[in-house]
Structure 1
Amino acid sequence: MYNISLKELQLKLQTDFQKGLSSKIHLQRLKKDGENLLEKKQGTSAIGIFISQFKDPMVLILLAATLISVVLGEYYDAITILVIIFINGILGFIQEYKAEKSLQALAKLTSPKAKVLRDGRIVNVDTKDLVVGDIVFLTSGDKVPADIRLIEAYSLEVDEAALTGESVPVQKDSSILVEGKNIAEAVNACFMGTSVTKGRGTGVVIATGMNTAMGKIARMIQKAENDPTPLQKRLAQLGKVLVSICLVVSVMVVLLGIWRGEEIYKMFLAGVSLAVAAIPEGLPAIVTVCLAIGVQRMLRRRAIVRKLPAVETLGCATVICSDKTGTLTQNKMTVEKIFLDNKYIDITGNGYNPQGQLLEKNKVITKDNKMLQKLMEIAVLCNTTRLLKKILKLKDYLEKI
């Protein structure tokens, strides 16, 4: 799609660059190819999250100990162990359920639209309704809604950091033909999930949904197996060791008792009681509480952790490797100083929250400074950025949880 001429591409996709697709053909292709969405694994229900808290090996051992305690008539021990297991499950459930709801809230904050040419008219449609052959218009600040081969590009630059890892915007050129399938070199195309930082352009959709470059990455991620964390591995190993030791010691106690002439039934009960008593009932609860504290600290730093063990995995990291551009950033650019009239002016505030002050030598600057006021006016008029209320609502939401 990147190495053929626009005329060949128009014939191959059976579309019209001047009028776009007709509504009839659009519906046919939408029915055939499906919506322009990335497939997502079905979210875990509240009941599923709660049940998952009891799949830990140590918890399963404690449940077995509870059953044995009931059989032996040790009801107080059984109730105590069940209370500990239940508290452990509630703590884990609360943290993971809140994280799941937070992620769902993030997804609902965006309602993507795309400007397309349909039946010879420019209309705004949901990005999920895009099909191959649609003519899409891109301007500064837009999210690229699908994989697009450019027809026209005017000073068009696209931030492809989410796809290729390069933090510097890529300048696009619709007239260049690109050999090969390396998307990092496809300067005549734009890809789903990237952002237009400058200029404007027009393109034809060449792939949607899971057939896009981003969709292929999503499919690889979905196939990835969830390996247990180091802590989970160690707890599982500890559980096996404890069970093995308890069984060996209990069997030895039973055999020694029988050898000394004690009743077999009496020694069997003693051996089982010893095995139950040797299991540390409070260990899972202590681990869960420690991980929950870590999750709360991450939330205060605006980081959402879906699974409790993920906190421990992050804590095990000693070295984080990034490429030469160092793209592990917050993706925020904040002005901190202004040099005006041979003077430095400090600016307080951070991020997208419109709060802060202009300071000169730690003194607040008044509105009477006409030169500074003119500079601010130029800065506002000479860009196309917009501060959406949704961003502020998201920030407020994260502060509440």
Structure 2
Amino acid sequence: MTTAPSIPRAGERDVVAVQTAEPGAVFDVVGSSPRGLSSQEAVSRLAEHGRNELPRLAERSPVSRFLGQFTDLFAVVLLVASAFTLAAYLLGTPRDVGNLRLAIAILAVVLLNASIGFGQEYMAERTADAMRDMVPHQARVLRGGERVEVPAAELVVGDVVVLDAGDAVSADCRVVEAHDLAVNNVVLTGESDSVGRTADAVSGRVARLEARNLVWMGTTVAAGAGKAVVTGTGEHTEFGRIYRLTARTTPDRSPLQLQITHMARRVAAAAFALGVVLFAVRLPAGGPLVETFVFALGVMVACVPEGLPATLSVAMAIGVRRMARRQALVKKLVAVETLGSTTVICTDKTGTLTKAEMTVTRLWTAARTHRVTGVGYAPDGSVSDVDSAREVLRVAALCCDARVLPPKAGDGWRVLGDTTEAALLVAAAKAGLDVDAERRAAPRVGEFPFDSERKLMTTVHTHDGRTWAHVKGAPGELLARCTRIRTEQGDVALDDRTRAEVLAANDVMAGSALRVLAVAIREIRGARTGQAEAENDLTLLGLAGMLDPPRPEVVDAVASCRRAGIRVIMVTGDYALTAEAIAHRVGILAAPGRPRTVTGADLDGEIDDSALRDLLAGKGDVLFARVKPEHKMRVVAALKDLGEVVAVTGDGANDAPALKRADIGVAMGATGTDVAREAAVMVLLDDSFASIAAAVELGRSVYANIRKFLVYLFSHNIGELAPILVATFAGFPLVPINAMQVLAIDLGSDVLPALALGAEAPEPGVMDLPPRGRRERLFSWSLVRRFLFLGSIQAASATALFFWHLHTAGIPFDRFTAVNPVYREALTMTQATIVVSQFFNAFTVRSDRHSILRLGLLSNRKLVGAGLIGIAIMCAISYLPPLQAVFHTAPLSPVDWLLVVGCGSLVLGADEIRKFLLRRKEATT
């Protein structure tokens, strides 16, 4: 159509004119028609007025982000130490250039950590953007009379949008067609109750947010269906106006981040207290004030795990990226942490455990059972005795909104809409029906959309001057509304014996894991007939049984969850026998005998919340079938009341409450609604249960990797600190390791290996262990015990070699000076022993119980490379004269290195013995 050039910009429309116009007149206001815009006009308006997107809130500048890295507590401690050391240099007489070097070195460590943190934050933002792009919001619109799916960002004023339950409204619109349509305006009004919508004109005196014929960007369709014409897009919407007024909010910190912050405070306090104590001990012994003060600062630096903030950020970012590669997109870092402790997964059936590629394989009519051949959505196959099956398929096909799209650009047959409806359309095509021709012959003049309460869908059609209601839905619900059945002799009364035969046929198909739909018809008085009349006194035409085969990877995933101590419970709206058959096939029901099957009717009746908790706390298998969204919510709440950590899957708008209530809400990325994806913290791109199991495994490995590098960092801190303490209380006048060496260790042997540990793959058997307890703390006694054990070995080795080397010189302690060659060699041996110990320690901490021989020495090549870089830096410090001057070191002889490597490897040998004893103990218990 030709659009007048005076069409105003999106959002500048006269809202009063829009809401007061009759449905047919609205199109004139926006320059459109009931068939929607042409593709060319849509492209023209998009180019002129821009995309339907909200402006991004002002982001922090890169400089501000970088400076924000210096607010970390460890960074603050190091900055203060650097400032004090610089002050010591400036106030000293004569000035000690070593203090200046130390101040610069500490500042360099802080800058390095800030750079790593800044880089990870930037990468995390880019990952989040990529995730948004991978799950785009779509909208169904009419373009030239054809229903198509377009990115929501490409909506323009005048587009006619098709709305169904579960959709997010992507622009401000005027409703022009409504069938029990209701929306949830909570994002605009704060009221969570659904509000009915109408296509009728509304008085201009009604406030725009109260106009019942308008829907707004950001709201959701709670029920029903309809059509609406776009009147405002992007920032020219009501939601865009509010969005511009909304200030950026600071995201909540995850429990893990809070634990790290708490630990940092304790470590900083302990470092400060220890520095003060040692300053107080050494000063009365006659040491110079400035040197004693710098010594105390060195002790503080030795206590601070400088690499922790950077390695924590890297481990989290690596976990998110790994999950994305496994088709699981995590929207919140807290999900990475929580996934590792999941104890129960409540899963849907269709699409999650199965392929969601429905294929009708069997039809039942009063005449006979018909076999349908062919699989998938290609119309290749046949229907046995097609003449007696044609009517049930014709009526079913006309009662469908889905479309089956032919192959295009190398893709196979695709479905636009519900896969169950697509299966009916394909079966009709196999029976020789031209569905498009049938639609023209019997046009739809009304509909009563499907909802989860009545489990039916009805469409109203006119044909040869008569009006018919076509109804399809759950066999139990539809059969209760039927009074007749169609046979070869015509329509006959549906007596009790015949009802029993229909239910038996339904049970046979459901017991074979087929999803069953019943199809019925009734002649009605006209298109204005109410829903109650249209859906009662029906004539049953037959049953359609369709197969949705289990995903092949799900069986192994369910078995993996069972080994991991994770309980899997099916919670589905499907028929009980169908659900039970699939649950047996994939291994959810493992116990012999029939499971306890709980239906929605049971939850509405005899099973109250207390009885539900008792049922879930039992040891037998439980399966929930024919449940409504509120029932799913009750199941999740009951499990959480029992102390379980619950992950729950969902794809519809009505699943949003359960997704929010769960510890981990998991939405379907391919078939889920916008509302479900917004409510969830994790989105599965492939909709597969196997991706949940993979995400749990990765979540456990992320948490384990964080514990690994905590052990790694704190164990070597003990190795640095112990020689200093021993020397102080033994009366040795000099330090066994100076602050510059500590920083060199922290940079060369801390950060890179710790980052490599953050990238450690899940270790063998991670899914054979039970979930960690909800109350388990990251900085637990088991972690402290482990780094004390490993750190004590490193500390003993470094201290022993230092004093042994001094002893070989035969010089009393009080005769040693900082320039003494023997002292500088001992100083170097202390540093080298800690570096080499950390090299072996990195292999040790890769597992709490598995031998490094099982893990493979080279299975984490990044870790090997990082360790060798640390040793290379140590060699440079020992042998290069410029670095010798900076670090007060001396070259080590081959014999010295043999001693260093021998003592450094003790940590690996000792822990291998501990692991062996632990495994033997586990084998005998």
Q: Quick one: which of 382, 395, 399 aligns to 2:685?
A: 395
Q: Tell whether 2:405 aligns with 1:385.
A: no
Deviation readout 1:266-287 (Å, 9 max, x if unpaired) = 3123211111112134543564
Q: Which residue of structure 2 aligns with residue 263 of structure 1?
A: 288
Q: Quick one: which of 349, 352, 376 aligns to 2:354?
A: 349
Q: Quick one: which of 72, 77, 85 aligns to 1:56?
A: 72
Deviation readout 1:161-201 (Å, 9 max, x if unpaired) = 88589999876322264886595x75422222446986654
Q: Which residue of structure 1 aligns with residue 213 of structure 2?
A: 188
Deviation readout 1:188-227 (Å, 9 max, x if unpaired) = 222224469866545472x543453433564466543335
Tell me, yes or no, if the aligned pair for 1:96 and 1:306 is still in contact at 8 Å.
Answer: no
Tell me, yes or no, if the aligned pair for 2:171 and 2:216 is still in contact at 8 Å.
Answer: yes
Q: Which residue of structure 1 aligns with residue 53 of structure 2?
A: 37
Q: Tell whether 2:160 aligns with 1:137.
A: yes
- Using the alignment, how far apart are the partners of 1:98 and 1:382 within structure 2? 44
Q: How does 1:167-206 map to 2 (within 5 A)?
A: 172-175=197-200, 177=202, 186-193=211-218, 194=220, 200-201=226-227, 203=229, 205=231
Deviation readout 1:73-127 (Å, 9 max, x if unpaired) = 579x9799689948964994597256224235237x457686699xxxxxx9997
Task: Give the total of aligned pairs.
Answer: 349
- Using the alignment, how far apart are the partners of 2:65 and 2:296 within structure 1? 36
- Using the alignment, how far apart are the partners of 1:285 and 1:96 within structure 2? 13
Tell me, yes or no, if the aligned pair for 1:148 and 1:191 is still in contact at 8 Å.
Answer: yes
Q: How does 1:175-324 map to 2 (within 5 A)?
A: 175=200, 177=202, 186-193=211-218, 194=220, 200-201=226-227, 203=229, 205=231, 207-210=232-235, 212-215=237-240, 218-219=243-244, 222-281=247-306, 283-284=308-309, 287-288=312-313, 291-292=316-317, 295=320, 299=324, 303-305=328-330, 308=333, 311-312=336-337
Q: Tell whether 2:181 aligns with 1:153.
A: no
SS in structure 2 of the partner of residue 304 of structure 1: strand
Shift of 1:51: 8.1
- Using the alignment, how far apart are the partners of 1:289 and 1:18 within structure 2? 51
- Using the alignment, how far apart are the partners of 2:82 and 2:687 within structure 1? 41
User: Does the C-alpha gap of structure 1 residues 139 and 240 become closer, same or farther in structure 2, counting only changes over 3 Å?
Assistant: closer
Tell me, yes or no, if the aligned pair for 2:198 and 2:212 is still in contact at 8 Å.
Answer: yes
- Using the alignment, how far apart are the partners of 1:161 and 1:18 within structure 2? 24
Structure 2 letter corresponding to 1:280: P
- Using the alignment, how far apart are the partners of 2:31 and 2:80 within structure 1? 70
User: Does the C-alpha gap of structure 1 residues 138 and 253 become closer, same or farther in structure 2, counting only changes over 3 Å?
Assistant: closer
Structure 2 letter corresponding to 1:395: L
Structure 2 letter corresponding to 1:103: M
User: Does the C-alpha gap of structure 1 residues 115 and 51 become closer, same or farther in structure 2, counting only changes over 3 Å?
Assistant: farther
SS in structure 2 of the partner of residue 214 of structure 1: helix
Tell me, yes or no, if the aligned pair for 2:81 and 2:297 is still in contact at 8 Å.
Answer: no
User: Looking at both structures, which has the greater relative contact order when contacts are Cα pairs under 8 Å and sequence separation is at least 6?
Assistant: 1
- Using the alignment, how far apart are the partners of 1:17 and 1:228 within structure 2? 48
The alignment-based identity, stated in percent, is 23
- Using the alignment, how far apart are the partners of 2:285 and 2:315 within structure 1? 46
Structure 2 letter corresponding to 1:105: D
Tell me, yes or no, if the aligned pair for 1:146 and 1:191 is still in contact at 8 Å.
Answer: yes
Q: Which residue of structure 2 aligns with residue 105 of structure 1?
A: 133
- Using the alignment, how far apart are the partners of 2:304 and 2:69 within structure 1? 19
Q: How does 1:86-101 map to 2 (within 5 A)?
A: 89=117, 92=120, 96=124, 99-101=127-129
- Using the alignment, how far apart are the partners of 1:306 and 1:7 within structure 2? 38
- Using the alignment, how far apart are the partners of 1:161 and 1:94 within structure 2? 34
Q: Which residue of structure 2 aligns with residue 121 of structure 1?
A: none
Structure 1 letter corresponding to 2:179: S
- Using the alignment, how far apart are the partners of 1:6 and 1:369 within structure 2? 50
Shift of 1:20: 5.6
Tell me, yes or no, if the aligned pair for 1:37 and 1:208 is still in contact at 8 Å.
Answer: yes
- Using the alignment, how far apart are the partners of 1:182 and 1:283 within structure 2? 53
Shift of 1:305: 3.3
Structure 1 letter corresponding to 2:133: A
- Using the alignment, how far apart are the partners of 1:217 and 1:17 within structure 2? 25
SS in structure 1 of the partner of residue 179 of structure 2: strand
- Using the alignment, how far apart are the partners of 2:132 and 2:60 within structure 1? 11
Tell me, yes or no, if the aligned pair for 1:37 and 1:128 is still in contact at 8 Å.
Answer: yes
Q: How does 1:327-366 map to 2 (within 5 A)?
A: 334=350, 349-351=354-356, 354=357
Deviation readout 1:217-255 (Å, 9 max, x if unpaired) = 644665433354444444445434443443343234324
Tell me, yes or no, if the aligned pair for 1:157 and 1:171 is still in contact at 8 Å.
Answer: yes
- Using the alignment, how far apart are the partners of 2:687 and 2:63 within structure 1? 24
Shift of 1:334: 3.8
Which structure 2 residue ranges, 5 or more long, are not aligned? Answer: 1-12, 34-44, 87-97, 364-370, 374-381, 404-414, 418-668, 672-683, 696-925
Tell me, yes or no, if the aligned pair for 2:51 and 2:155 is still in contact at 8 Å.
Answer: yes
Structure 2 letter corresponding to 1:153: E
User: Does the C-alpha gap of structure 1 residues 381 and 15 become closer, same or farther in structure 2, counting only changes over 3 Å?
Assistant: closer
- Using the alignment, how far apart are the partners of 2:402 and 2:185 within structure 1? 19
SS in structure 1 of the partner of residue 173 of structure 2: strand
Instruction: Note the aligned Cα RMSD (angstroms).
Output: 6.3
Structure 1 letter corresponding to 2:354: G
Deviation readout 1:133-160 (Å, 9 max, x if unpaired) = x55533356875522233x325373664
Deviation readout 1:352-382 (Å, 9 max, x if unpaired) = xx3789699xxxx861664898667765553
- Using the alignment, how far apart are the partners of 2:322 and 2:285 within structure 1? 57
Structure 2 letter corresponding to 1:137: V
